[in-house]
Amino acid sequence: MGLEEPTAFQKQIAATLGIDISHDTRGVAAARIHTVVGPAILSKAAAYPASERQIDFARALGLNVSKDSSLVASAKIADELFVRNQAALEKLQLKPGETVRVRHRIELDGMTREWTEEFVISSIQPNCRIMFKGGNGRGAWPTQVEKVTD
């Protein structure tokens, strides 16, 4: 998994449809193609522009998705989050069996509550997701953890 370039088939379809995907990842290319062919395949998802929430979140990540479809905006955001998580994973040099700390923060009724939990890593998925031992599917992203050193 990673930020792979569009497939040969995606390039062929995009060229036929007159879509420029030359600077896109495979996921963004798929979203652009889906957006264009959406009406032909009765895809409701293809009809929506990027939402205000997507635009705001993308802006916080340093992206401009204001002129994109919701599908393209989602793909661009996913790519940026993957890049950030991959960088955090490389920086932390995490491995199964190591312990990480997750900090939580919630605001409720005007009060902020913070707490931490420690987990042992069971595995690291190809999408960078860190899975915890005994967590019943529980995990976190590398940008959400800190390595516990003794």
Strand pairing partners for 49? 69
Average pLDDT value for residue range 17-28: 97
Domain boundaries of the chain, sorted by first residue: 8-89, 93-147
Average pLDDT over residues 40-69: 95
Total-model pTM: 0.86
At 84-130, the pLDDT tens digits run 999 999 999 999 999 999 999 999 999 999 999 999 999 999 999 99
- What gap in Å lies between CA 128 and CA 126, rounded to an integer? 5
Query: Angle between the 52-60 and 70-92 helix axes, to the nearest 10 degrees?
Result: 30
Assess contact for 35 and 72: CB atoms under 8 A: yes
**DSSP element (H, E) containing 60:** helix 52-60
* 35 Cα distance to chain centroid: 19
pLDDT score of 10: 97
